[in-house]
Amino acid sequence: SQQGEEDPQALSIQEGENATMNCSYKTSINNLQWYRQNSGRGLVHLILIRSNEREKHSGRLRVTLDTSKKSSSLLITASRAADTASYFCATDPPAGNNRKLIWGLGTSLAVNP
Amino acid sequence: NAGVTQTPKFRVLKTGQSMTLLCAQDMNHEYMYWYRQDPGMGLRLIHYSVGEGTTAKGEVPDGYNVSRLKKQNFLLGLESAAPSQTSVYFCASSAWETQYFGPGTRLLVL
């Protein structure tokens, strides 16, 4: 069953603009991860934020986590056409789950040149 | 390092035929997973393995079987293919928290 829900489902922006996508989840977590999927390809891990962290950066990516609201956001700054992809959040529940991630349905991002 | 590889890349089956999808990883990961991805439904876990010789059911296991005889390989079998199994299948592996994905197998069942 899906726990994460990404919002919006689809986003279209111009190159150079910032893109923000959100993820909400339902149960407690060890960490929350964001993955990217280019069309027709496998998913690629982008960034992981732990439950005791509030913000994390990696290059042009900024992730925030609000455990009280059970939500996370992924910000891509100065977007490029190559950022066009689907972005998925995945939550890692507390121990005893055999490292099974719970996946959202994804946000489809189109960056127009 | 090839990472996670999947064979075949694409396959067309007739209803009732059987086939095996192969996943191989060269990262010495303990955990391996099989997912299917359908439009609007995200990733759904079919079966997974927490180590060589172990397998367990995921969210949508019916119609599939798996085996993990060697640590580096995870096989997904379709016993009698049905049109509802038309999908893109992804294998993933992990050592701990992050999962590494293969390029996918596109399966069409007619």
CA distance A76 to A85: 12
CA distance B85 to B37: 10
List chain B pLDDT tens, one digit each, 110 residues: 789 999 999 999 999 999 999 999 999 999 999 999 998 888 999 999 999 999 999 999 999 999 999 999 999 999 999 999 999 999 999 998 899 999 999 999 99
Amino acid in position A51: S
Q: Compute the radius of gyration of chain A from its Cα atoms.
A: 13
Residues B97, A40: C-beta atoms closer than 8 Å: no
Best mutation target, A1, A39, A98, A108, to test chain B (most B CBs within 10 A)? A98
**Which tokens in the block code for residue A26?**
């339902």
Q: Across all residues in chain A, what is the average pLDDT?
A: 92
pLDDT at A75 over 90: yes
Amino acid in position B43: L
Residue A96's pLDDT is what? 64
Quick: pLDDT tens for A22-33.
999 998 999 999
Contacts of A100 in chain B (CB under 8 A): 33, 45, 48, 58
Residue whose tokens read 């391996």 = B32
Q: Between these two residues, A7 and A113, which has the higher pLDDT value?
A: A113
| Burial class for B40, CB neighbours closer than 10 Å (0-12, 13-18, 19+) | exposed
Residue B89's pLDDT is what? 98
Residue B51's pLDDT is what? 94
| Burial class for B92, CB neighbours closer than 10 Å (0-12, 13-18, 19+) | buried
CA distance A66 to B71: 37
CA distance B49 to B31: 6
Residues B101, A42: C-beta atoms closer than 8 Å: yes
